[in-house]
């Protein structure tokens, strides 16, 4: 719930500052990403006071501020597939030594 309140505040901040083009950089994949973008792009229900212009801003479904999402970048994306990664050198050498010792035949 707190995230959606922050998104509404962020929308109000963008409207007051007059920013139209938005570049979003996410550190990780946020939870409820589609709902967050719906709240960001949907018009606000209640009017609010613009302290810079000194007027009340009301948005209706017909006329509201639209933002151009030009860029969305995820710094750490999570893979949902089962991918195999290479083992680190030390662990790999340790395992190979154990395998060699177990399979060595006595003369």
Among residues 62, 64, 28, which one has the least CA distance to residue 44?
Answer: 64
List of residues 6+ apart from 56 with CB closer than 8 A: 47, 48, 49, 50
pLDDT digits (tens, 9 = 90+) for 41-57: 889 889 999 998 899 98
The domain segmentation of the chain, as residue ranges, is: 2-103
pLDDT band at 104 (very low <50, low <70, confident <90, very high): confident
């Amino acid at each position: 719930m707190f995230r959606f309140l922050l998104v509404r505040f962020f929308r109000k901040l963008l409207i007051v500052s007059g920013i139209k083009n938005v570049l979003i950089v996410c550190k990780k994949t946020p939870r409820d990403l589609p709902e967050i973008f719906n709240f960001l792009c949907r018009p606000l229900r209640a009017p609010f006071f613009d302290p810079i212009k000194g007027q009340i801003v009301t948005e209706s479904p017909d006329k509201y501020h639209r933002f151009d999402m030009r860029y969305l970048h995820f710094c750490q994306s999570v893979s949902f597939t089962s991918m195999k990664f290479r083992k680190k050198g030390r662990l790999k050498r340790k395992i190979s030594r154990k395998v060699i010792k177990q399979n060595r035949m006595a003369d």
